[in-house]
Amino acid sequence: MKKRVIGIIVSVELLLVIIIPLITFNWVQGTKSIAENRNLTSFPSLFDSEGRIRDDLLVVLDDWFKDNIGLRDSFINLSSVISFNILHTSTSEKVEIGKGGWLFYSAENNLSIVDGTYPDFDEEKLALYCEQLVEVRNRLAEQGREFVLILPPSKVSIYPEYIQSGDYHIMETPADIIADYIEGHSDLRVVRLKDALLEEKNKNGEQLYYKTDTHWNFRGRYVGYRKIIEDFNDWGLIDTPPLEARFYEKGAYSGDLARMLGAVNLDGDKCSEDSYNAVELVGSFVQSVSNEKSEEFEALMTAEGISDGGSMWTNPNESDGPSLLLYGDSMIGSCNIDYIAANFSETSFVWSYVLRQEMIDFVDPDIVALDISERGLSSCLPGLFDSYLNIKIVKDKEKGILDIYYEDNGKLESCYMPTWSEANDQSDLVWYEAEREGENCWHVRVDLNDHESGRYITHIYDGPNGSGKYITATSFDVGKITMSN
């Protein structure tokens, strides 16, 4: 009798384990998982473009089922709690749990920065990067604009002592290597932020990066802002000192690394640090721009495929001062842009590393700056400026002709430039075969009468009709191109 009762109880438990997840199955498409901070897989299409049952149907159905099974978030949270609090291991392959509550981003070679294996910069690569940056500077100088490179360091470069997986210390890292080479082989202006942050860290022991985030905290941001403005003043680009800061304490904070880990307590709470300092710049009156120009700015970013966005700022206190266009990522652009704007008349931020002449012409800045986070240097620099430096577009307004030039330095045996206007979804696509102009340049002449007006897209291939290798691309508005003389 006892065995029978136990058997019934076990059977009921097993039945509940099977039935409850099925009863609570998520049938709502596009639902976001709170535990994983991502959208769950929607129900897949059962047929391919020719109306036949998909070859991978079982695979995509399995992915959909696993993503939407009932109580998924609860089980993920429970797993996170056990892993973090009992096993002391990370629940994300992108996060390493460090010492003293510190978390570190472990993807994209970030930890390799401090073990000396990243990046693989050799003399040839450094020379190429330096040459391209100088070319960018020279092209902007021809337009009457200044160019500055800004190098924010990774958190691992400033706080290696808290990394659990090794005995790391302050050392030469990618930002040092790039800056040393550029300064030794050119007169390019480089803002070195690592030394300023280390000096501040050693001087007063204040925490400069969040423990639970990849980014610097408000104190670190202010150190970065102060160094940037000091350097700009030393170079004579501006004539306004950095503003003083007023710090004040705020409550608990959970950053992007904490979100990657998920909940570490049964009540759903994530890793957090007890408090952090916020900052207010004394005497800053910068304002976010929201008008017709900012709408055009947003539209131009969308047309260029910039999904992360950007921002525009104005400063009534510096109405006669220089203007700034900043290209870059979240370290400077999202965290510091409203600070930096306090020392310029107008400030624009584009969340991208890819410079476009059309955007530069639209914003019309006195200074163009580019910030590249340290872990992205090796992956971003190769080919970063190919489109900007190698493609030139000239329009003859009276004749309705567009000339496209692509400099390949003699590398390609043939070159094709498929071009179309965005308006009609490639219905006016033409595969233009380019002709050599000298040893290093290809040229195509486009008759604008063969296309719709508005925004154009041009791709560069080494073969016709998609059979060749894709090289690069550009986009432009035919009404905003520099006209030929």
| Token reading at 93 | 């392959």
| Residue 26: pLDDT over 70 | no
Ordered domains of the chain (ranges, CATH)? 2-70 (no CATH), 105-380 (no CATH), 389-477 (2.60.40.10)
Q: How far is CA 352 from CA 143, 306, 426, in A?
A: 21, 7, 25
Looking at residue 450, its pLDDT comes to: 77
Please, which residues bridge with residue 435 across strands? 443
Beta-carbon contacts of residue 465 (< 8 Å; ≥ 6 apart): 416, 431
Tell me the average pLDDT across 434-445.
92
Q: What residue type is assigned to position 325 of the chain?
A: L
pTM for this predicted structure:
0.77
Kind and range of the H or E run holding 264: none
Compute the distance between CA of residue 34 and CA of residue 21 in angstroms, rounded to an integer.
17
| Token reading at 336 | 């510091």
Q: What residue type is assigned to position 108 of the chain?
A: E
Kind and range of the H or E run holding 16: helix 2-23
Residue written as token pair 């210390």: 169
Q: Are 327 and 380 in contact (CB under 8 A)?
A: no
CA-only gyration radius of the chain, Å: 27
Looking at residue 260, its pLDDT comes to: 85
Looking at residue 483, its pLDDT comes to: 43
Beta-carbon contacts of residue 436 (< 8 Å; ≥ 6 apart): 442, 443
How do residues 214-235 score in pLDDT, each as one tens digit? 999 999 999 999 999 999 999 9
Percentage of residues in the chain with pLDDT exceeding 70? 84
How do residues 272-324 score in pLDDT, each as one tens digit? 888 777 888 998 888 998 889 989 899 888 877 787 778 999 998 888 899 99
| Residue 335: pLDDT over 70 | yes
**3-state secondary structure string, 186-250?**
CCCEEEEHHHHHHHHHHHHCCCCECCCCCCECHHHHHHHHHHHHHHHHHCCCCCCCCCCEEEEEE
Tell me the average pLDDT across 384-408.
84
How do residues 51-88 score in pLDDT, each as one tens digit? 788 877 777 777 776 666 666 666 666 666 676 766 66
364 band by pLDDT with thresholds 50, 70 and 90? very high
What does the mean pLDDT of the chain come to? 84
453 band by pLDDT with thresholds 50, 70 and 90? confident
Residue written as token pair 């959970």: 254
Q: Are 214 and 256 in contact (CB under 8 A)?
A: yes
Looking at residue 1, its pLDDT comes to: 62
| Residue 41: pLDDT over 80 | no
